[in-house]
Chains A and B, each alone.
Chain A
């Protein structure tokens, strides 16, 4: 929305009709060149050509338009943007995403579990307001991809950069959970939550899943387990991230639902199994509704000044007219 920080200057426009009248319609105005025909030795006068009349009219419009824009610049034009500002501490959330080989299975072709999970995480992140959200991923190893932050652009950029199998083909869930716990441990947030998305059992890494869940529970961190995809022997198509070679085969995926449920309850969290994008989205919505805190929000008005743009456009219009009329066409001052 356009606004002016000193709108009083817009009263300059009251002078414009008077000036336009004086310039074009005042009979006593000066500056007109008069001379007797009898001493004229040149060619006879011819009516102005069409192009000259059009140019003249255009130049007149342009110069008054330029002056108007400069007058508007005096009033300090600004673009007004309203921004919702969170004034209270939200929840700290870390999402742990499985990057192992089996996440390449396409339960609902052509979208793999991994891409489906990423898309749901993206929607979940964009649906949160004022919370700090981080990202840990794991394969045979685990790593923090993004610390808990309210800078969602940075987080989503990192999420988009993740590639299947770049941390190995196995499933080090315990390591992922321990890393997430480490990065939430010193948080001052009242509520701390971990969302763990995987399609397999813990089979790699130096920290067992049970130990990691206990560590999280000790830090009052709730862990939500989300089991992704069908279980059993499933076909898989994979592109090697290094060579780009497409490989087809089968992979066995399974996870112990009872163990996940029991571990989640230990930490005060929950467990869900999802087999389709729709159910995964529903799970995220459930978590979204479960993890809420009282928030204090205000609306802040941001003002982006654009007077310099007005000055440049107005000045260029006037100088262009000056260049064409006075210098190129040689009009008398």
Chain B
């Protein structure tokens, strides 16, 4: 289970303040009632139950707001052909030479092979670092694609960081509306230091029925990050910073959206990636089925409504007097 809006969980702080304030008010009211001799067990039980149910309501409704999600469900929809948005990581860590000859070159080689092999497929190209922009709109034109692929590198953008959320959003916006083609995002990255709300991005992809196939360039052992002058990026003590490929975030993303993850350091990874993309295409075309996300918020919203009901009952149920 993952949370699409984990930021909503900050609401627990507000809920904590409300619960504490309600407790203090209850104590003060009890003292006032004591003064007039009406501090009964009935009142205490009702007050406790009402505050407890309201506290439970707050917790549950905040969890529902955070939008828990798991799994996908099929929906019908005809399609033909493939539209592939290529989100290509051009951060400096892609220059690390822990795979032959560098992560960037390996990614470019795989992308070129895919573009060459998947005839009839349309591609858009979205290089990304701290920001992302569509450099080539969804097109079948291999000439423009190849000319942009030759230019891929850290020099193409000046923003620092590797914001995967923005990259995925731009990639999903590069699919033209009204075109009945299967939608795939091909993510080429080393997976290192990815930022942005990836859960949020995944939610939108699931909603649009977009699969993510990821090609991860780099190794867990990693390597130093080369600079243009032949030296390496160093930390404050002067030691070279080691960049390591990170599969975890990408595997989690693909687990939610559907698709596949491929380690470009392994032999045959490019062929497997191609095979996976072809399989998606055949599945969508032959069965007319795509997938959408399944919402799990009801598992928290329903109990929160029951807590509201308990709150009401704690107030109105008559107290049996002896």
Contacts and interface: CB of A to CB of B under 8 A. Distances in A.
Whether both chains belong to one complex is answered with yes
Interface of A: 12, 19, 22-23, 26, 28-31, 33-35, 39-40, 67, 70-71, 73-74, 76, 83-89, 92, 129-130, 132, 134, 144, 146-152, 154-155, 182-183, 186-188, 298, 300, 304-305, 307-308, 311-312, 314-315, 318-319, 322-323, 326-327, 330, 332-333
A130 B316 contact: no
A39 B34 CA distance: 12
Nearest to A76: B295
A144 B50 contact: no
B138 A30 contact: no
A305 B203 CA distance: 11
A326 B46 CA distance: 14
A83 B301 contact: no
B232 interface: no
Interface of B: 5, 18, 21-22, 25-26, 28-29, 33, 36-38, 42-43, 46-47, 50-51, 54, 57-58, 61-62, 64-65, 67, 77-81, 119-120, 124, 134, 136-144, 174, 176-180, 207, 295, 297-298, 301-302, 304-305, 308-309, 312, 314-319
Q: Which 6 A-B pairs have the closest CB atoms?
A: A147-B141, A333-B47, A85-B180, A151-B137, A150-B176, A154-B137
Contacts of B28: 330
21 contacts: A19-B312, A30-B318, A31-B46, A31-B315, A34-B38, A39-B37, A70-B301, A70-B304, A71-B305, A84-B178, A85-B178, A87-B78, A87-B180, A147-B143, A147-B144, A150-B176, A188-B140, A300-B180, A308-B65, A333-B26, A333-B50
B281 to A, nearest CB: 14
A186 B22 contact: no
A298 B180 contact: yes
B178 A129 contact: yes
Contacts of B64: 311
Given A74-B298, A308-B67, A333-B47, 12 more contacts: A28-B318, A31-B314, A33-B43, A83-B178, A84-B178, A85-B78, A150-B138, A150-B178, A307-B295, A311-B64, A318-B57, A319-B58
A138 B22 CA distance: 72
Contacts of B38: 33-35
Contact of A187 (B46, B137, B140, B297): B140
A147 B139 contact: yes
Interface centre among B5, B25, B51 (most CB of A within 10 A): B25
A133 to B, nearest CB: 10
B25 A330 contact: yes
B319 A30 contact: yes
Contact of B312 (A23, A73, A308): A23
A304 B119 CA distance: 33
B179 A186 contact: no
A153 to B, nearest CB: 8
A305 B144 CA distance: 37
B18 A319 contact: yes
A29 B315 CA distance: 8
B77 A300 contact: yes
A130 B18 contact: no
Given A35-B37, A70-B305, A134-B141, A305 B295 contact: yes
Contact of B80 (A35, A88, A307, A332): A88
